Structure 1
Amino acid sequence: MIYLDFNRTTPIAPSVLEAMKPYWLTHFMLPGQDHAHAQAVGEALENAREGVAFLAGCEPFEIVFTSGGTEANNLAVLGTLARQDPGHILVSSLEHDSVIGAATSLVSQGWEIETIACQTDGTIDPELVARLIRPTTRMVCLQLANPVLGTIQPVREVADLCHNRGVPIHCDATQAFGKMPVDITSLRADTMSISGHKFYGPKGSGALFVRRGLHLSPIGFGEPREMGLRPGSENIPGCIGLGAAATLAAKCAGDVEIGISDLRDHFANSLISTLDGRARILCEDSPRLANTLAVEMPGDAKRIQRTARQLAVATAQSDAPPDETTRALRAIGMTSAQVGRTLRISMGWTTSREQVDRAIELLADACDGIVAA
């Protein structure tokens, strides 16, 4: 198999797995007890928190461990708005289900949700956000990088105008870490979500950055942990793994980004040439993640995927309730037919030139076979 769906999930890095192993078997205790073994686990947990904070460019006490990006998004939206009277929430049309779902759940309590339309280039216009903000706006939700189109959003510009009007901004950055430099201080987000399995950490691990001075309410109940924002025992191996993945990404992600961007461009150029211009790269002139390509193919994407069985890529659910992929493609104005022809290709740290060239051959053969049939 040639795996080109790294935006969906990544394999766990060997060094991350090695860092986690002792915390399943030998150091299985929970922090918070007086004996030395539990204290050692507590110290390891805080070291992991420091690793995540270093990658994100914030203070360790601003990092809350969660079970992943979905929980982080829910905690950011619901926790920020829990103590406020119902008002107006702005959510970009590109957001993840967990952001949209959390915001939509508040409608029954009198909240109004408004969608920020996306431009055809796959980005949100800050001037549009400025026009949509009202005196009753209580939050703006804008992701940093889109996993389908690869487009990078103007979070800093939107954050500046939000703060000028006293409105907090939540940024889902789960697709950005490990693929591009992320500096929370520069982006000025009030909350920001992180997911471990998007950058070679374990599934079931994540974190939420909560800006110093911002007061959130917990969205679950039980023994308070993580600054009182998350009840229940910590997933110690997962937290350790997230910290190890963050440390690894901080060391090498920048260098890898350059190599992957060259590979992405080679993939795009070679595919278009091989298919005689019958493929189209979406949003290619916009700022994009180095590893991501959304390609409109000359035939049905699902048939191409089934035909190229050695190739693992992502397709949209054009004939089903809208998922994240479908919403992103429809947001830039694509028709149902175009959505059905689109493949999402996302490369990783281990993707090679040989794999890319073989993937292009498989896609070309699949397209030719479909046309011939």
Structure 2
Amino acid sequence: MKKPVYLDYAATTPVDPAVADEMIKYLTLDGVFGNPASRSHGFGWQAEAAVESARGQVASLIHADPREIVWTSGATESDNLAIKGAVAGRDNAHIITSTIEHKAVVDTCKWLEAQGVGVTWLDPGSDGRIQPDQVFSALKPETVLVSLMLVNNELGCVTDIAVIGAELRSRGVMFHVDAAQAAGKLPIDVTAMPVDLMSLSGHKVYGPKGVGALYVRRSPDVRIEAQIHGGGHERGMRSGTLPTHQIAGMGKAFAIAEACLEDEIQHLEHLRSSFLAGLEALPGVALNGSDTCRVPGIINLSFEGVEAESLMLGLRDLAVSSGSACASATVEPSFVLRGIGLSDELAHRSLRFSVGRYTTAEEIAFASAQIVDVVTRLRAVR
């Protein structure tokens, strides 16, 4: 059976071979398998050194201090820790977020809302972007936190974090940014932006699944209450034995991403241009989201007269998705696409194509040709 062309990098990325090689060093008796919290012998010291080295590698990609990186099990936990941790113990707390955030943010805010926390839900424009003035207009004296994603996981559009962050810093309001889809895809500087909390994921950057990080700015103004209690690991913010092999893998992945960032951006831009050029002969194709303020690796398209599910069945040689992997268990149309104004009918006709480090020009040519062929055939039998 022919292996499908993988065009779902926004859902997850394959582990870079160099990352896999690094992880193996921390699993077996011949390697550094100790508990990083065991400080009474060399096995633990070596593991701790590996964890701290990786902490520095993750911090370097986003221009943070290594002491500001808190290890988690992934961006979902990071989002939960940031948002719940920011409002814990605060009376009359108020949060601002948007209706098209990742489910880890949306569902967390909905849960807090049910507990009595005030939440203002901002609606994006048709390009999928939240404008700074929307945020500033929604601020209240009791606003504790604003939580917005840097890159939308379904549309690829980019939020103007720097402008929003500067204003929030001047007003003393904490700013959380979900950067799971942004790390390794565009330059990030948490100081210049500026942000107080940033969620990161290993498996979106060619690292392993099951590990992530939360950047927590070292400042008395940024107070986060732990959501997992135990041994007081990670400066008391996240207890639990650290998975050295996964952390080392994430560190290696982030180091590679930093080293090849500019080349990777150029590679993805070329793939995007080639992919869209290959579809130019096909009428009735619309781009969802911004065509200017976006990362190159995520392309969300609507196909007139063709249901996305039927199209995916026809594209058996391509691995694509109709939306976020975290919402794929539902047959409801994407809440992100509905959030930018698409009708249910048009949302049901949309697919997300996402390319990455290992996507080749030949695969893109094959994919675009397949799409043109399948869409043309499906329209002919309507």
Q: What is the TM-score with the length of structure 2 in the denominator?
A: 0.93
Q: Work out whether 1:73 is the aligned partner of 2:76.
A: no
From 348, 356, 379, give the equivalent of 1:371. 379
**1:51-75 residue CA offsets vs partner (Å, 9 max, x unmatched):** 0000111000000011000000000
Structure 1 residue matching 2:192: 3-state secondary structure:
helix
Deviates most, 14-23 or 95-104: 95-104
1:156-175 equivalences under 5 Å are 156-175=162-181
- Per-residue Cα deviation, 1:19-60 (whole angstroms, up to 9, x for no partner): 110211122110232211210111111000000000111000
Identity of aligned residues (%): 34
Match of 1:7 in 2: 10
Tell me the distance in 1 between the aligned counterparts of 2:144 and 2:256. Answer: 36
Letter of the 2:316 partner, please give it.
Answer: R
Q: State the Cα deviation string for residues 114-172 of structure 1 (Å, max 9, x = none).
A: 10110111111111111111112111111000121110001111112222222111000
2:186 to 176, 180, 185: 180
Q: Does 1:143 align with 2:149?
A: yes
Q: 2:271 aligns with which of 260, 263, 275?
A: 263
8 Å Cα contact 1:86/1:109 also seen in 2: no
Distance apart, 1:18 and its partner CA: 0.5
Counterparts of 1:362 and 1:235 in 2: how far apart (Å)?
A: 42
Supply the AA of the counterpart residue of 2:236: G
- Show structure 2 runs of 5+ residues with no match: none
CA distance in 1, matches of 2:167, 2:290: 27
Structure 2 match to 1:360: 368
Q: What is the alpha-carbon distance in structure 2 between the residues aligned to residue 45 and residue 319 of structure 1?
A: 35
Aligned twin of 1:236: 244
Say whether the 8 Å CA contact 2:33–2:43 is kept in structure 1: no
Native 8 Å contact 2:124 2:340 kept in 1: yes
Mapped to 2, the partners of 1:146 and 1:109 lie a distance apart of: 27
The structural deviation recorded for 1:351 is 0.7
Structure 2 letter corresponding to 1:239: I
- The change in CA–CA distance for 1:83 and 1:355 in structure 2 (over 3 A counts) is same
- Relative to structure 1, is the Cα distance of residues 314 and 100 closer, same or farther in structure 2, using a 3 angstrom cutoff? same
Asked if residue 315 in structure 1 is aligned to residue 322 in structure 2, the reply is yes
Does 2:23 correspond to 1:20? yes
Counterpart AA for 1:142: L
Secondary structure of the residue aligned to 2:229 is coil
Question: Does residue 333 in structure 1 map to residue 332 in structure 2?
Answer: no
Counterpart amino acid of 1:253?
Answer: L
Q: Does 1:306 align with 2:308?
A: no
How many Å apart are 1:286 and its aligned residue? 3.2
Residue aligning to 2:41: 35
Structure 2: distance between partners of 1:168 and 1:5 = 33
Structure 1 residue 109 displacement after superposition: 3.0
Q: Could you tell me whether the CA contact under 8 Å between 2:128 and 2:290 is conserved in 1?
A: no
Amino acid at match of 1:328: V
The equivalent residue for 2:55 is: 49
1: CA distance between counterparts of 2:170 and 2:41? 49
Q: Cα offset for 1:319?
A: 11
Quote the Cα distance in structure 2 between the aligned partners of 1:120 and 1:368.
27
Q: Secondary structure at the match of 2:203?
A: helix
Alpha-carbon distance, 1:320 to partner:
4.2
Measure the CA separation in 1 of the matches of 2:74 and 2:368: 33
1:225 aligns with 2:237: no
Does the C-alpha gap of structure 1 residues 195 and 75 become closer, same or farther in structure 2, counting only changes over 3 Å?
same
Partner of 1:287: 293
Alignment of 1:104 with 2:116, yes or no, is no
CA RMSD, 1 decimal: 1.6
CA distance in 2, matches of 1:243, 1:47: 8
Q: Distance in 2 between matches of 1:291 and 1:60?
A: 28
The amino acid of 2:25's aligned partner reads P
Matched AA of 1:244: K
CA contact (8 A) 1:69 1:193 kept: yes
Q: Which residue of 2 aligns with 1:129?
A: 135
Q: CA 1:318–1:176 in structure 2 vs 1: closer, same or farther (change >3 Å)?
A: closer
CA distance in 2, matches of 1:9, 1:111: 32
